[in-house]
Homo-oligomer: A and B are copies of this chain.
Amino acid sequence: MPQTTARQALLRLAQTHDLSGVRERLLPMADTLAADLLALEQGLANAIDKDEHTVAAAAAHLMAAGGKRVRPVLCLLVAKAFPPGEPPPSIVLLAQVAELIHNATLMHDDVIDLGDTRRDRPTARFVFGNGASVLGGDLLLVQAIGLIEAAGVPDLLGSMLNVLRRMIAAESLQLENRYRTDVTIEDYFEVSEGKTASLFEWAVEAGARAVGATDDVVAQLIRFGHHTGVAFQLLDDLLDLEHDPAAIGKNVLQDVQGGTLTAPILLALAEEPDLARRVADAAKDAPRDHAGEEHAAASLDDRLAADLVDAVHRTGARDATRTLIAQHTARALAALSVLPDSPARDALASVAKGMAERAR
Q: Which residues of A contact B (CB under 8 A)?
A: 52-56, 108, 111-112, 125-132, 134-135, 137-139, 141-142, 145-146, 149, 157-158, 161, 164-165, 168-169, 171-173, 175-176, 290-293
Contacts and interface: CB of A to CB of B under 8 A. Distances in A.
Nearest to A158: B149
Contacts of A292: 129, 131
Contacts of A132: 172, 175, 291
Contacts of A158: 146, 149
Nearest to A136: B168
A169 B131 contact: no
A129 B175 contact: yes
Contacts of A135: 108, 112, 168, 171-172, 175
B291 A108 contact: no
Q: Secondary structure at chain A's binding surface: helix, strand, loop or mixed? A: helix
A212 B103 CA distance: 38
Contacts of A138: 108, 137, 141, 164, 168
Contacts of A165: 139, 142
Contact of A293 (B56, B130, B139, B161): B130
A148 to B, nearest CB: 10
B291 A127 contact: yes
A131 B161 contact: no
Nearest to A294: B130
Nearest to A173: B53
Given A142-B165, A172-B54, A134 B112 contact: yes
Given A132-B291, A138-B164, 9 more contacts: A53-B169, A55-B168, A55-B172, A111-B130, A129-B175, A131-B175, A134-B134, A145-B161, A149-B161
Quick one: which of A128, A149, A175, A176 has the most chain B CB within 10 A? Answer: A175
Nearest to A170: B53
A171 B291 contact: no
A137 B129 CA distance: 18
